[in-house]
Structure 1
Amino acid sequence: MPRASAAAAAETARAVLAAATRQFAERGFADVSLDDVAEVAGVTRGAVYHHFRNKKALFAAVAEARQVEVGNAVVAAAQAAGNDPAQQLVDGSHAFVDAITVGPAARILLIDGPSVIGWEEWRRLDEASSGAHLRDALAAVGVDDDLLDALTAQLSGAMNEAALWLARHPDDDTARERTHRALDRLLGAII
């Protein structure tokens, strides 16, 4: 019996996270209540509170899951590039821009994330996933140790700003292509 309860609890938590992800992505943090999330998840408000102490904690869990998702996309693209560190950096960087601007990630991570979970937590999540992969890729292409942290921060910031710009131009059919061309220029100065 306990195993069924643990499995049911895990399924409830997954349902709440999925519902919260959809709600936060579509409506934004400020316009979503825990009652909304519970209704979409098909659970009670008490079930939401059982797994997450408040709306901010739920949002933090959603943001962390999106960061992991973006980081996984970066890793997959870099691995698909083969053994060429420069191509891994390029493909991973392009995958970051695409992953963070498609689906729920842009609003959750770039628009609401910094203000809801705070800059320090936002940076910690970024550095633990895609930021760590970016630093590794820059080291692999030969960036000097004394510049590695500064260049990682600057390139990460540039890609985040590019993603925000791209997210603000959803009706511009050329915005994504121009974003990728601009990113290639930046990366060309490094590799």
Structure 2
Amino acid sequence: MPRASAADAAETARRVLEVATAHFAAQGYASASVDDIARAAGVTRGAVYHHYTSKPGLFAAVVAAHQQIISEAIVAATRNSAPDAAIHDGSHAFLDAITQGAAARILLIDGPAVLGWQEWRRLDAEGPEQELHTGLREAGASPALLDALTAALSGAMNELALWLAARQEDTAARRQAHMALDAVLDSVVPRS
């Protein structure tokens, strides 16, 4: 049997990741089955393990992909913003992106439990939290408080995202969440 081309292999890995995302979002990590993921992706269980090594490895790839999506949403929202507005624009983009679709369950509920706190924190620090740190620095947050402010705001936004994710269809809750986020951000980095 001929070996798959690099393009075929990449497409298989992408398809498995897409299907795994849907399964982890719908069923949670514990209930999702590698056999079901493989079947839905149209590949063998061995193909899943070839690309992702293990179920935790597959989940880690799903988490990393979602962290990248969140980071890209933040960057896109802040691309043309002045520094003091960018911290607000990026934080609102984070809140919207992390409460859409599978992101909250994968990143905030199953992520820490499956990956372990240290790995989950590392991934967050390399993605959205890094964007927050940069935004705070550029907006003029106190250098002496920069790391502490980043941690405090990151935690507050993650909790706000969990609160909002439990109220997906509640437009009043979404409005309240964004107003609360502005109130917190204004106390740290007032807009000019």
Per-residue CA distance 1:99-154 (angstroms, 9 max, x = gap): 00001111100110000001111111111111111001101111122100000000
| Matching of residue 98 in structure 1 with residue 96 in structure 2 | yes
The alpha-carbon deviation at position 7 of structure 1 amounts to 1.3
The alpha-carbon deviation at position 86 of structure 1 amounts to 1.0
Q: Name the aligned partner's letter for residue 97 of structure 1.
A: L
Structure 2's unaligned 5+ residue stretches are none
Q: CA separation in 2, counterparts of 1:170 and 1:87?
A: 26
CA separation of 1:63 and 1:92: change in aligned 2, threshold 3 A = same
Q: Partner residue of 2:185?
A: 187
The alpha-carbon deviation at position 97 of structure 1 amounts to 0.3
| Matching of residue 178 in structure 1 with residue 176 in structure 2 | yes
The alpha-carbon deviation at position 171 of structure 1 amounts to 3.8
Q: CA separation in 2, counterparts of 1:125 and 1:176?
A: 26
* Divergent runs of 4+, >3 A: none
Q: CA separation in 2, counterparts of 1:162 and 1:129?
A: 18
Q: CA separation in 1, counterparts of 2:110 and 2:3?
A: 37
Q: CA separation in 2, counterparts of 1:109 and 1:182?
A: 22
Report sequence identity in percent. 57
SS of the residue corresponding to residue 43 of structure 2 reads coil
Q: Partner residue of 1:114?
A: 112
Q: When the two structures are superposed, what TM-score results if normalisation uses the length of structure 2? A: 0.94
CA separation of 1:153 and 1:95: change in aligned 2, threshold 3 A = same
Q: CA separation in 2, counterparts of 1:48 and 1:144?
A: 47
SS of the residue corresponding to residue 189 of structure 1 reads helix
The alpha-carbon deviation at position 32 of structure 1 amounts to 0.4
Alignment RMSD, CA only?
1.3
Q: Partner residue of 1:154?
A: 152
Q: CA separation in 2, counterparts of 1:91 and 1:3?
A: 47
Q: Partner residue of 1:59?
A: 59
Q: Partner residue of 1:135?
A: 133
* Contact 2:160–2:177, Cα closer than 8 Å, also in 1: yes
The alpha-carbon deviation at position 80 of structure 1 amounts to 3.6
* Contact 2:83–2:135, Cα closer than 8 Å, also in 1: yes
Q: Name the aligned partner's letter for residue 39 of structure 1.
A: R
Q: When the two structures are superposed, what TM-score results if normalisation uses the length of structure 1? A: 0.95
Structure 1's unaligned 5+ residue stretches are none
Q: Partner residue of 1:75?
A: 75
Q: CA separation in 1, counterparts of 2:57 and 2:44?
A: 17
Q: Partner residue of 1:39?
A: 39
